[in-house]
A and B are shown apart, each in its own frame.
Chain A
Amino acid sequence: MSLLKKYKLALIIVCLLLLGGFALTSYVYQNEEPMSEKSISYKGDVSGFIKASLNESSVVVLKARVTSVRVGGLQLDKIVSIQYNENENLNFKSVNVGDIIVVKGGYLGYDDLFEEYKLISCIILKDE
């Protein structure tokens, strides 16, 4: 094999290694899918949400009345506790007790201590 061919082969191997490394890094460091783009397992009101047998980590969209406003979260219909991320602060800032809102979030499960259902990473849907 001529020296030129050897260089070409080495170059191809290096390129393949670089591509492989890039693909692996992209796979490992891929970002979590934003809540706005996650597929929905349940959409509706709170009574239907409670009756639906949802798995933990299901994504739900709820239309409900705000019954309490807390730091970083809200209570809906007195039975659902939702928490939102810091970057959602602005959207939730204008929400008051009594408002009817539509939120999308990840269902965690039933909290036995507070006797309420928990949603996290919630966002407000404005176009509902």
Chain B
Amino acid sequence: MFYIFTLMKARFILFFFFYVSLISAQKYATRSGQTSFIGSEETFEQIKAINKVSTAIVDSSNGNIAILLFVSAFKFEIALMEEHFNENYMESSKYPKATFVGNIQDFKYEELTNSENNYDIVGVLAIKGIERSVTINGRMQKTDQGISLKTNFIVLTEDYNIKIPKVVRNKISKTINIKAEYELIEKI
């Protein structure tokens, strides 16, 4: 109980300080970021989905970044797959959100150009209530309306307690390839 309370308090403080720092800074944001994943081996029907309502905010003064997405907003081509994803694997009614809070290392807005630059983004990725420190590679560039952020990274299902039943173990990959594309515009 004490552990849960401490964890909740730590998350609150993290979000609070991040949010407060964003209020006074120049921010770039999106409500319609695209996050997709492919989570299958080479099977007849590939397990892939896309979330087109991911939200992200970048503080251009210090490179702080926060991303939030609703798990149930992932859309599959097959409705039954979507149902199983939410109910059996991600338990989206219990853990509705996935978040990332971190910092884009060595980020200087003035140095962004119209061509992609690579950055290490260090932070905490929380899925199914489990938080893990991660470093992902992000490609960023200036656009007409703001900043473009793209990234590809891999998540291990066992790291986030995503249990795969034996019967489909050879169909679902233990590594999930995640791709994110966010077109961030200046937030007024």
Contacts and interface: CB of A to CB of B under 8 A. Distances in A.
A31 B79 contact: yes
A74 B7 CA distance: 35
A9 B53 CA distance: 54
A28 interface: yes
A55 B86 CA distance: 13
B41 interface: no
Interface in B76-99: 78-80, 82, 86, 92-93, 96-97
Contacts of A27: 80
B68 A113 contact: yes
B78 A29 contact: yes
B72 A56 contact: yes
Contact of A55 (B29, B53, B93): B93
Contacts of A73: 31-32
Contacts of B19: 112-113
Interface in B91-117: 92-93, 96-97
Interface residues of A, number: 24
B82 A32 contact: yes
Given A30-B79, A71-B32, A111 B55 contact: yes
Given A109-B70, A114-B31, A28 B55 contact: no
Nearest to B70: A108
Nearest to A115: B19
A22 to B, nearest CB: 16
Contacts of A112: 15, 19, 68
A83 B72 contact: no
Interface residues of B, number: 24
Given A29-B78, A57-B93, A120-B53, A111 B32 contact: no
Nearest to B68: A113
B78 A113 contact: no
Interface in A57-92: 57, 70-73, 81, 83
Contacts of B93: 55-57
B57 interface: yes
B38 interface: no
A70 B68 CA distance: 19
Contact of B55 (A55, A113, A120): A113
B178 interface: no
Interface of B: 15, 19, 29, 31-32, 52-53, 55-57, 66, 68, 70, 72-73, 78-80, 82, 86, 92-93, 96-97
26 contacts: A28-B80, A29-B80, A30-B80, A32-B79, A32-B82, A56-B70, A70-B31, A72-B32, A73-B31, A81-B31, A83-B31, A83-B32, A83-B53, A108-B72, A108-B96, A109-B97, A111-B31, A112-B15, A112-B68, A113-B29, A113-B55, A113-B56, A113-B68, A118-B53, A120-B53, A120-B73
